[in-house]
Structure 1
């Protein structure tokens, strides 16, 4: 048994890991391991939600210097992706950061990673659904009445949940289709914008009164959370074929794909929409499409793309919301019901996530307390980084303690540099969430401490009774 305060467990042998991952996948025609393309789509689809459709206007007030911030953040995200790839090679079990933190630092650290990540997923699902209603309203008027909008948001959460309950086969299919459909219009703007690019639209390199460093930091604070989701393949490693090889590759390819869309899309909008107009735009991609092809159909086209993008993100995040509690339940750190699978999916975790996210959605439409829902969403930007910090710290621990695989000295140095860069990037994410979010996020974590005390006590009592 591995209790808090005991020495960390050694990594399971490769054959043990393979047996565990195979055993976790119940044989069913509805359960299917993700190949590299679907795993890559899972990463890309979870990173790219609906924020991309507003990002160019959000950073336009800082000028084109914001593209420098994009570059810095992309480098940090790729470093984090590489670290997750190396950790997945070492231990390719479902759970990702939870597995790595628990192996390095014990049950308590693993539980904190699982708890904070779980909070992030279901609160984010509620936020995605509420935001998606705004795009749906462009196509079908649903936002005129409060309860019509609420019902639409609940439906948008339920449909991806049904795909998850149906089995991993359907989760993968939905994710693949949604990623392709969201990429097509984004790439249309990103690539098509090169043919309509006018440097006169770019505006000043630095539009704010801040220093260059201050302008980069300020724009980075807006962009920081654009790359949340790089861990998606690692969290679902148990559902990926040949995870030692494919998790790392999917993480890198998915992150690079998202970065390409972000950078090219933002640059294209900067070059096709006049800076003065872009600063006040509420639909920058729509303005770009209208500027490129004329007419006023851009709003409808972008609304469809954004809606598909968000449904795809909901599909992927719903799966992730069940995977980490599943891994923790197998170790006795979450209720045992979370550790049951059907058709390759931890259905209890999916259902609990849908219920909690739905309750939060209803609360958003009934409370009427301005800013409360937004504050909860901001807290998740802090809780999402806790597993990142613990996972990168675990990689540093493995390297420094000599528990990593014996490799060429050059590769060891490279892994150490990447782990340090990923840890710094994660700390930057924490700093970017703001004082209020960190303060309130820590309170959420402390609630988890009580849950951990209860589960750890039950685990200890069970072990004692069987001794």
Structure 2
């Protein structure tokens, strides 16, 4: 939940506002599809608790090349996710610090957030976990405030809900919004990635995955839809829609505090995803799918090299896109991150089918993942496929490096 409840809930109302009621249907499809995929991943984890991450499920089902392709694109998607969350944290602060809207300023602060959470994770998994617990508790405050305020305003007739369109739902709107809503639930597979760091993973991880996904999806459906459907269009598209909602229906003073809490929430999610951007390449390097240089850890088992390389790549991405507006940058990065992560979900569904595990759920989850990949659009989905293919030179390097190891020992 710490990874899922982060930037999505606090900035998605701005991205989903143009879709209106179609976004509500998109949420329902996304929650159902995510629960199916979460169940599939949970079953795979129970069968292979020693796999060392979700990408290893694909390796055991279809071989090392397929496992590398999925593991590589998932690592890239985690880096994209961290960039997106850092931008969301900055966007929430922009409601009280307007200077962040200037080109370059927002990107500079986002880079600072990336390196700050990397520093926490360099201390070790225990420090990252403690930070995650604290920020998860804090992030529930703005959600609870908006939920109560939404209930009060609707109960007293102060809020005007956008009317249901005469033409009803549209397939194009539902499909497009579903790709964005999935961004908010990315991370339900996070517990499986760190299975080797959890006590009793065969029992703990499935429970955490399914319960966390269901609760998070319900929170998102109610809060995000409530904001998007009750705020005036120009206000819902602000850099901090939560703060805009509180300012519109309560007071500008508390709205500033909500923006601060939302920023802390984003940083909590960023902290959890930073842990993943070290663990994923570490597992791949140990499995011989990436150069063994990335498998190095310090005395506390922290993958220092993988963390630093991932953060550096995210920094370069922010620099390259620093001239975009915060909401536009968030939307573009969210779609690219979602598209990249969907390949992992496709691979896990196919692995479950190969092992004859949860076959009905795997089939439905596969259809959902492919549908959402289409809904994300040709550009982000095509770019994610090209990025996946672009990792194979590194795979060849790792295999050559691995084959030369016995020779070096014998010399």
Sort the TM-score into its range (normalised by shorter chain): 0.7 to 0.9
Mapped to 1, the partners of 2:14 and 2:94 lie a distance apart of: 21
CA shift, 1:225, in A, is 2.3
Deviates more, 1:213-222 or 1:303-312: 213-222
Aligned to 1:408: none
Relative to 1, partners in 2 of residues 1:337 and 1:286: Cα closer, same or farther, differing over 3 Å?
same
Relative to 1, partners in 2 of residues 1:279 and 1:160: Cα closer, same or farther, differing over 3 Å?
closer
Mapped to 2, the partners of 1:291 and 1:144 lie a distance apart of: 21
Residues 291 and 401 in structure 2, CA contact (< 8 A), matched pair in contact too: no
Mapped to 1, the partners of 2:324 and 2:252 lie a distance apart of: 36
Relative to 1, partners in 2 of residues 1:76 and 1:143: Cα closer, same or farther, differing over 3 Å?
same
Alignment pair present for 1:122 and 2:122: no
Residues 100 and 110 in structure 1, CA contact (< 8 A), matched pair in contact too: yes
Aligned to 2:218: 260
Aligned to 1:180: 137
Mapped to 1, the partners of 2:145 and 2:333 lie a distance apart of: 34
Mapped to 1, the partners of 2:149 and 2:101 lie a distance apart of: 35
Alignment pair present for 1:320 and 2:276: yes
Residues 329 and 339 in structure 1, CA contact (< 8 A), matched pair in contact too: yes
Mapped to 2, the partners of 1:221 and 1:148 lie a distance apart of: 29
1:206 equivalent among 156, 165, 172: 165
Aligned to 1:79: 36
Residues 97 and 388 in structure 1, CA contact (< 8 A), matched pair in contact too: no
Mapped to 2, the partners of 1:204 and 1:90 lie a distance apart of: 48
Mapped to 2, the partners of 1:367 and 1:202 lie a distance apart of: 31
Aligned to 1:161: 118
Gaps of 5+ in 2: none
Aligned to 1:37: none
Residues 11 and 88 in structure 2, CA contact (< 8 A), matched pair in contact too: no
The size of the alignment, in residue pairs, is 405
Q: Tell me which of the two structures has the higher relative contact order, counting C-alpha pairs closer than 8 angstroms and 6 or more residues apart.
A: 2
SS in 2 for 1:438: helix
Residues 136 and 142 in structure 1, CA contact (< 8 A), matched pair in contact too: no
Aligned to 1:231: 189
1:365-404 equivalent positions in 2, closer than 5 A: 365=322, 378-399=335-356
Mapped to 2, the partners of 1:372 and 1:153 lie a distance apart of: 12
Aligned to 2:402: 459
Deviates more, 1:311-320 or 1:337-346: 337-346
| Alignment deviations for residues 17-43 of structure 1 (CA, whole Å, 9 cap, x no partner) | xxxxxxxxxxxxxxxxxxxxxxxxxxx
Relative to 1, partners in 2 of residues 1:464 and 1:395: Cα closer, same or farther, differing over 3 Å?
farther
| Alignment deviations for residues 135-166 of structure 1 (CA, whole Å, 9 cap, x no partner) | 23344465276565444222211111111111
Relative to 1, partners in 2 of residues 1:161 and 1:94: Cα closer, same or farther, differing over 3 Å?
farther
Rg larger in structure: 1
Aligned to 1:133: 90
Residues 282 and 294 in structure 2, CA contact (< 8 A), matched pair in contact too: yes
Mapped to 1, the partners of 2:125 and 2:62 lie a distance apart of: 31
CA shift, 1:420, in A, is 1.4
| Alignment deviations for residues 210-255 of structure 1 (CA, whole Å, 9 cap, x no partner) | 7544443343243232221111111111111211111111111221
Aligned to 2:100: 143
| Alignment deviations for residues 104-147 of structure 1 (CA, whole Å, 9 cap, x no partner) | 11110111111101111223322322332232334446527656
Relative to 1, partners in 2 of residues 1:95 and 1:322: Cα closer, same or farther, differing over 3 Å?
farther
Aligned to 1:59: 16
2:207 equivalent among 235, 242, 249: 249
Deviates more, 1:89-98 or 1:441-450: 89-98
CA shift, 1:291, in A, is 4.4
CA shift, 1:314, in A, is 1.3
Relative to 1, partners in 2 of residues 1:99 and 1:143: Cα closer, same or farther, differing over 3 Å?
same
Alignment pair present for 1:105 and 2:62: yes
Aligned to 2:393: 450
TM-score by length of 1: 0.78
Aligned to 2:262: 306
Aligned to 1:240: 198
Mapped to 2, the partners of 1:68 and 1:377 lie a distance apart of: 19
Residues 122 and 304 in structure 2, CA contact (< 8 A), matched pair in contact too: yes
Residues 80 and 419 in structure 1, CA contact (< 8 A), matched pair in contact too: yes
Aligned to 2:368: 425
Q: Give me the CA root mean square deviation.
A: 2.9
